[in-house]
Each structure stands twice: as structure tokens, then as C-alpha cells.
Chains A and B, each alone.
Chain A
């Protein structure tokens, strides 16, 4: 960010900075030195502009970070030193600005500023498109134009169904439906997740069918390149042979890591590829390059999928 703390530094003593910190709702500021407090204030809102002043064209100021990333800070053109009279006039103007009340004060906006801004990411930005009322507000609907459509009773799926969908590396979602009038006995049925390895079906996970219709999240090791996996629904014969009862679900697990292959005609050195990969938000885990960065967590190496992330409320899960 280009907000400069310089003017705050030159204008405010420790006491004033503490008052400012309190007004901004910050905590733990009383133990901080003047310098630390200035940094904290800069991080949490920067200075408040004193008067309308054109900052002029930004002058880029290059810095090279320790990781070699070049970044730039823009600083406004240096301003001429102010006379005492001007400073006084500005401080009056600032005071006027800072104590002017909002037209009509809203009782509490804490939830909206802090809660929202802490978790800002693309999803929030995108969901702002759909914001029309405050969260939690119930909007009465005029049902007079309804067509008496019984939308809560959608026609049930009438065919035996089995589907496997990848959710993300390491997690697959399966759903199944056995119509109530089916000849299949749900008590004897099992769900098998597996893959073909050396011409045999290698079982990765197997569960007894909890219900005639349902969904399940299968958790696998996201570091292994498992490839295509198959979901089967069926039962074991007394001899141990598995008989599939519905069409199988097939899914390919999304790849989390960079390929190990390099094209001879489009050869790229390991070093250059690493540099590009990391600069694009990827990370290195052992010998592998992974990408799981979202804009809100740049370059951070994720651990193994945590149960909190995977166990969504209201769902069955294999963990």
C-alpha cells in the first residue's frame, strides 16, 4: 500500500498517537513505543488526510525485498515545509473532519467492518454482488404472484444412480440413489472406491451403505498422484466376488503439483521454472512444486487437508 506514515510521524506525539489508536478501536497500543504505534496506525488505516491536496504524479521508489521480489512504493511529491499558521489551520481542519458526525449514526458497525474485512478475499468481493440487505435480515416476500408451484417436492430421482465428483486434490464426493422400489437390498450393499493397478482393482476405501440415498466425502492422500479412481456400489457374493449393482462413478483426481515432465523442444531449466512457479504463488514441498495459493493467502504452503476444512456441516464424511 502506498499510504505513507510520514506526516503522522511529524505531527503527533505519543499521547496523540494513543488517542488516535483508541479512536480506531485498536487494542494493546499502550505498551507500544512511538515508532511501533506509528507502524500499527499505518497498518490499521493510515493517516487521515488533513486537507484536500493534489498528491501529484506518484514517484516510484524501488525496493528489493529479501526474497528478491522487486516491489515499489509510491510516495507523493515532497511538500514544502508548512508554516506554523498553516499547521494550525490544518490541525483545525483535521479536528473538524475527525469529529464531524455521520448524518445519522448507525448503532454498531463493528460486525461489518472487522468481521468482514478480516476475511476479505475474492469470494467476499464476489459475494458483494449479491448483497442487498444486511446479513441476517429477513425480507418479506410477496407471494401473491406465486403460481402455486410445489417447489419443495421435487420429483425424486427414479433410476439407481451412482456418481463420483472430485472436490479438490485429496477429496472426492460420491452420491448414490437407490429408488425405494428397487430390488436391491440396501443392507447388503457397499460402496467401494478404488483404482486399477496392475490389472487388479485396488480398494482405497470401502463403506457399508448408510442409507438408500446419500452422499459421502472420501479423503485420500493428496500428495500421491492416484490418477483415475472408480466408485462402485454393489454387494459381495458368498465366494467373495463383488457384484456391482449400478453404473460406476469415475473421476480423475485433480493434480495439485507441477508436472515432472519437461518438453525437449520447450525445455525449461529447473531453476527458472522454480522461480516462475514461486513468484506465481506456488510453493515447494520437498522435491515437488505445489500450487494451492488463493489470493488471500499468497504463497503459503498448506498442510494436509484439515478436518475443519473438509468436514462441512451437515455432511457425512469418511473422517
Chain B
């Protein structure tokens, strides 16, 4: 089969590092557990099913270093099993409560079967570590896994101290290699944030390509001959792929896009708030109702009246939407090839958590789409950016402009009146860290321990999630607290290193809490790749 063009599905999977061993339960750890239940495990199910059925498919995923760290953390792994067990127990109560209710009992049973199956696969197949399954799919050639900034630091606003970008990249490449066994070929720049010069750093780390929002290519200089439908070669060598606007819009826009369909599951309606029964109240956090992931209603319409969710109808609709999406891509490819002299690529990047967590039926949609693309047509073939570069290396040289994929296309999501106060602290801490590296170029033992922990704390403070949450207004208090805590710990560790006098109990305690990147080397904060 000689396809007219290619389709590259890119899923960016990321969560900030949230792990609180100091508490038996911690509300924000649910971010990870919910994403595991609704996105990561269902996606693995889909990909493994496709592989089992010998369906040709290619998908690109970024698994960020913080996410990989959480997936391989034994505390979180065991807490996730507890999370599933608690829900299965609650569902037993729900089964009794809804017995005889033709509308809700089937939904309850659907969740019970789903969670029981996910638990079984997580414990028996993944042996608590889902990175093994992602790695297997990668090694089989179905999945291309990208890296990202170590803690998802937003490059354009951290670039004031170039050492920070080196540190973010060094730790990212190290973590990727440690957990997935390979150096990454591509990177998902955090928030697709690009600034001229970043391409040079990527080249220094051997990274061959990255992804930009549409205007990152469209506004490149000189004009890109193929728009966003072929990568360009940046001045320093790595290739930049551009996001296809049309395919993004059909899925991203929750109202006009697929996820807003009335038949699909309603995100905000949750048994945690609806059901006042002891078995559900057990899932509350400190007596406060929380999202439980047990959602029994469909979107229905723009009304507060919600009708019961019907998984079968939703699945049928996902199949229809997959057909619709593919049909439009076929026409898009036909249009593009009418004036292209090379096969175009339609690159559709999405937040992975959109599929499953926000749009519950999203993984099913991906399943239908990839099967339809394999069997129902011949114009388009799925591909990964790596494969595309292997086949078509003659790329147009062009310089992308500064940009991001945030609202508005630039930096205002991460730099505005709600969060701009963090940057003086971040920049000054980065400067201090770089100065410490220069002052202690070969530190050992106790001082090295303090410096390594200082580097960890600074990376954690640099996460773009904190300013994002401050802007969007969800969990602001937690984001502010996390930012300040990591900055505070950074300064204390730095002071210990300078004084040569460690506060051993304190250092032990924070090293237990902020335990990611076991192979940390504080010298990543210098102007050269430290790998």
C-alpha cells in the first residue's frame, strides 16, 4: 500500500510529581490515580488489543519524567491498588442500592466490571509498573515515546538562566533512559513552549525532533512551503513538526468537538457529590465530598437535568465520530496532495488525559479510529515522527518563532497577574544553583547530598503546572504551597551545602518526600549537557 499521506497521533501524558508519604491519604494524589484508571490503563488496553489483532498502527506518546517517576514509585503503586479496592467496595454498596433500577444498575455494574478488570491487569499483568507495558509497545515498534522537560518547566520563561534548560533536559534524558531503556529521539517541549535557541540545546542532547503549535511552523521564517504538513529543519538541526489545526479542533473543543456529544459521559456529575450513602462517604476526603470517578450520567444537554449514562450508546457514538474524523482526514489529505509534491503528514497532538479522564469514551474513539484507518481506507497510514524523518529527511530549513500551545499561542497562561510573582524567585534560585555548581564543581558525600537535593527541589519548583493552576483557579492553594515549599527547601539545602553543615534529619525527611530522580547530579545546572 502506498498511502497518499500520513497521520501521526501524538498523546502528551503528564502530571506533576505529587507524592505525599507523610500523609496516609492525600487528595491531590487522586490526580494520578484518576488518570491511571481512565486514561493510561485504558490506552494500554487499546494499544495491546490492536497489537494482538495484528492491526497496523503507530502512536506517539510523551511520558514525562515526573509521570514515569510516579508510575515506578512503589508507594504510589500500592496506594493505587488501595484506590481501586476502595472503589470496588463502594461499588458493591452501589450495586445493592441500585438493584432493580433499570437506569443506574447497569452503569454501576459496568464500573464494577471495568475497575475489577483494570485491577487485575495492573496487579497481574503490569505487576504494578505500567512503564513495562509502555516499553513493550515501544520495543514492538507500535509506540514512539517522547521525553519532556524533567519537571515540565516552561522553557521560554526559564530561559533567562540557560542552565535551567540544560538541567531540565539532562534529567529528562537520564530518566527516560533509566526507565524506558532508550535515549529519546524526540521531545514534547513543555506546553510546546519554544524560544529560538532551544533547538541548539536539543541538538546537544541528541534530540532529533520536537512539536510546535500550528503558528510555530506557519510563522516560521522563511515561509514553510508545506505549511504544518511537513516538518521543517530548525537552524541548529532538530526537526519541528506542526500541529494540525483541523484535527485538533474536532477533538479538543469540548462543545463543538466530539467530547460534547450529549450521549457521552458527563464529567462533572459524580457519585461523590450525588450519593449520600455511607459506602460512598467512605471515599470522601476528611469529610469533604470529592470526585470518585463513578459518574452515572450522560451530558444530555445544556441543562442541569442529566440522564443516565449508557455505555453502549456512547460506544456507538465513538465509532461514528471515529468514522467522521477519518473521513475528514481523507479529504484533507486529498486536498493537500493536489498541490504537494511530497506525502503530507497530519500531526494531531492532544493531552493524553483528554482521552478517558475528560472524554471518557476517548480511548474507544482511538481504538475505532486506528482500526478504521488500518482496514477501511488506503489513503492514510499512521506514522510516528521518527519514522517520517527516517523516510523523508529532505526538510525545508526555517526558523520557528517563539510560541507555545497555550491559550493565545504565547506565554500569557504562565505569565500573568496571577502567577508572575514566581519568576523573580525562580530566576534568582537558578542563578544561585548555577553559582553553587561553579563553586563546588566536584562535591562529595554530605555536601553532595545537600546539593543534589537542592537541585531536585529547584526542578520541582520550576514545574509549569504551578503557574498553570494558579491561572486556571483549580487547586490554587495547593499549587502555591508546592511552589513555596520547594523554593524554601532549595534555599535550606543550598545554605547547608554552603555552610558544610547538614541538618541530617531534615534532609532525610525531605529526601524521602521529594524522592524523584534517584540518579540526580547537581552538576546538571551548568551550561553543557550533563548526562
Q: Give chain B residues whose Cβ lies under 8 Å from the Cβ of A315.
A: 416-417, 420
- The reply to whether A152 and B484 contact each other, CB–CB distance below 8 Å, is yes
Residues of B contacting A199 in the complex (Cβ-Cβ under 8 angstroms): none
Q: In the complex, what's the smallest C-beta–C-beta distance from B475 to chain A, in angstroms?
A: 5
> A131 and B23: CB pair below 8 A?
no
Which listed residue, A102, A128, A165, A291, touches B415 by the CB 8 Å rule?
A: A165
Check B357 against A128 for contact (C-beta < 8 Å).
Answer: yes
Q: Does A147 contact B (CB under 8 A)?
A: yes
The number of inter-chain residue pairs (CB within 8 angstroms) is 376
In contact, B302 and A97 (Cβ under 8 angstroms): no
B160 with A157: CB separation less than 8 A: no
- List the A side residues contacting B104 at CB < 8 Å: 103
Bound complex: CA of A25 vs CA of B305, how far in Å?
A: 9
- A271 to chain B minimum Cβ distance, whole angstroms, is 9
In chain A, positions 267-319 with a C-beta closer than 8 Å to chain B are 267-268, 272-273, 276-277, 279-282, 289, 291-296, 298, 312-315
Q: With an 8 A cutoff between CB atoms, is B515 at the interface? A: no
Cβ contacts under 8 Å, A26 to chain B: 302
Using known A-B contacts A24-B301, A122-B407, determine if residue A2 contacts B320 with beta carbons closer than 8 Å.
Answer: yes
Q: Is B509 an interface residue, CB under 8 A from the partner?
A: yes
Contact (A252, B410) CB under 8 Å given A46-B261, A113-B302, A132-B30: no
Tell me which residues across on chain A come within 8 A of B335, comparing CB atoms: 70
Stretch at the interface among B42-50, B126-134, B138-146, B396-404: B396-404
Contact with B along A100-114 (1 / 0, CB 8 A): 101111101110111
In contact, A45 and B301 (Cβ under 8 angstroms): yes
Contact B255 A129 (CB under 8 A): no
**Chain A contacts for B260, CB-based, 8 A:** 1, 117, 120
Interface size class of A (residues with CB under 8 A): 35 or more
Could you give, for residues 194-217 of chain A, a 1 whenever the CB lies within 8 Å of some chain B CB and a 0 otherwise? Answer: 000000000000000000010100
Are B469 and A127 touching (Cβ within 8 A)?
Answer: yes
Q: Are B288 and A263 in contact (CB under 8 A)?
A: no
Residues in B213-234 with C-beta less than 8 Å from chain A? 214-215, 218-229
Contact A254 B222 (CB under 8 A): no
Contact A273 B223 (CB under 8 A): yes
Q: Is A15 interfacial (CB 8 A cutoff)?
A: no
- Specify which chain A residues have a CB less than 8 angstroms from the CB of B316 in the assembled complex: 54-55
The docked-state distance in angstroms from the alpha carbon of A156 to that of B157 is 20
Q: Residue-by-residue, is B279-311 near A (CB-CB < 8 Å gives 1, otherwise 0)? A: 000000111111100001101111111111010
- Among the listed stretches B2-10, B52-60, B321-329, which one makes contact with chain A, having 4 or more residues with CB under 8 Å of it? B321-329
Interface flag for A6 (CB, 8 Å) = no
Among candidates B220, B229, B286, B320, residue contacting A58 with C-beta atoms closer than 8 Å: B320
B87 at the interface (CB under 8 A from A): no
Residue of A nearest to B255 (CB): A120
Interface contact B223-A261, CB-CB below 8 Å:
yes
Contacting residue for A103 out of B156, B261, B274, B319, CB 8 A: B274
A166 CB within 8 Å of chain B? yes
Q: Name A165's contact: one of B245, B256, B324, B423 (CB within 8 Å).
A: B423
Which of A71-79, A84-92, A181-189 participates in binding chain B? A71-79
Give the residue of A54, A165, A261 whose beta carbon is less than 8 angstroms from that of B411: A165
| Beta-carbon contacts under 8 Å, B246-293 to A | 246, 248-249, 252-256, 258-263, 267-269, 271, 273-276, 285-291
A35 surroundings in chain B (CB, below 8 A): none
**Residue pair A142, B339 in contact (C-beta under 8 Å):** no
Instruction: Say which size band chain B's interface belongs to.
Output: 35 or more
CB–CB A113/B303 < 8 A: yes
User: How far is the CB of B494 from the nearest CB of chain A, in Å?
Assistant: 9
A150 within 8 A of B: yes
Is A266 a contact partner of B396 (Cβ separation < 8 A)?
yes
Given contacts A25-B304, A120-B255, A280-B227, contact A167 B273 (CB under 8 A): no
- Quick check: is B313 within 8 A (CB to CB) of the other chain? yes
Q: How far is the CA of A266 from the CA of B411 in the complex (A)?
A: 30
Whether A7 sits at the interface, judged by CB under 8 Å, is no
Which B465-511 residues sit within 8 Å CB-CB of chain A? 465, 468-469, 472-475, 481, 484-485, 487-489, 491-492, 506, 509-510
Distance between A83 CB and nearest chain B CB, rounded to angstroms: 23
Which residue of B160, B273, B275 is within 8 Å of A134 (Cβ)? B273
**Once the chains bind, are A175 and B286 in contact (CB under 8 Å)?**
no
A268 contacts B225, C-beta separation under 8 Å: yes
Q: In the docked arrangement, what's the CA distance between A1 and B7, Å?
A: 22
Which chain B positions have C-beta within 8 A of A255? Answer: 219, 221, 401-402
A258 interface hit (Cβ, 8 Å):
yes
In the complex, the answer to whether B407 meets A121 with C-beta atoms within 8 Å is yes
**Complex CA–CA separation, A60 to B221 (angstroms):** 39
A313 B417 Cβ-Cβ under 8 A: yes
A52 with B252: CB separation less than 8 A: no
* B484 interface neighbour in A72, A116, A154, A291, Cβ under 8 Å: A154
**A74 touching B323 in the complex, CB below 8 Å, given contacts A103-B274, A129-B353:** yes
Kindly identify which residue among A112, A123, A129 contacts B413, using a CB–CB cutoff of 8 Å: A123
| Cα distance, A60 to B160, chains bound together (Å) | 51
Measured CA separation A259–B246 after assembly (Å) = 22
Do residues A103 and B296 form an inter-chain contact, with CB atoms below 8 A? yes
B427 located at the interface, meaning its Cβ lies under 8 Å from any Cβ of chain A in the complex: yes
Indicate if the CB atoms of B261 and A3 lie closer than 8 Å.
yes
What's the least CB distance linking A172 to chain B, in Å?
10
User: How far is A103 from B228 in the complex, measured between Cα atoms in Å?
Assistant: 48
Contact of A131 among B223, B224, B401, B474 (CB under 8 A): B474
Contact A175-B423, Cβ < 8 Å, known A261-B223, A279-B246, A280-B228: yes
Q: A72-B324, A103-B97, A263-B222 are in contact. Are A273 and B227 (CB under 8 A)?
A: yes
Interchain nearest-CB distance for B312 vs A (Å):
6
CB B375 to nearest CB in A, in angstroms, measures 11
Chain B, 161-202, contact with A by CB distance < 8 Å: what is the 0/1 string? 000000000000000000000000000000000001000000
Given A104-B276, A173-B415, A255-B402: 18 more A-B contacts, CB < 8 Å: A23-B305, A25-B305, A45-B300, A48-B262, A62-B331, A100-B102, A110-B304, A113-B304, A117-B255, A117-B302, A123-B413, A132-B291, A133-B285, A254-B411, A259-B223, A262-B222, A263-B222, A276-B228
Query: B residues within 8 Å of A by Cβ?
Result: 15, 22-23, 27-28, 30-31, 35, 97-98, 101-104, 156-157, 160, 196, 214-215, 218-229, 244-246, 248-249, 252-256, 258-263, 267-269, 271, 273-276, 285-291, 296-297, 299-308, 310, 312-313, 316-317, 319-321, 323-324, 327-328, 331-332, 335, 339, 351, 353-354, 357-358, 396-398, 401-403, 405-413, 415-418, 420-421, 423-425, 427-428, 431, 465, 468-469, 472-475, 481, 484-485, 487-489, 491-492, 506, 509-510
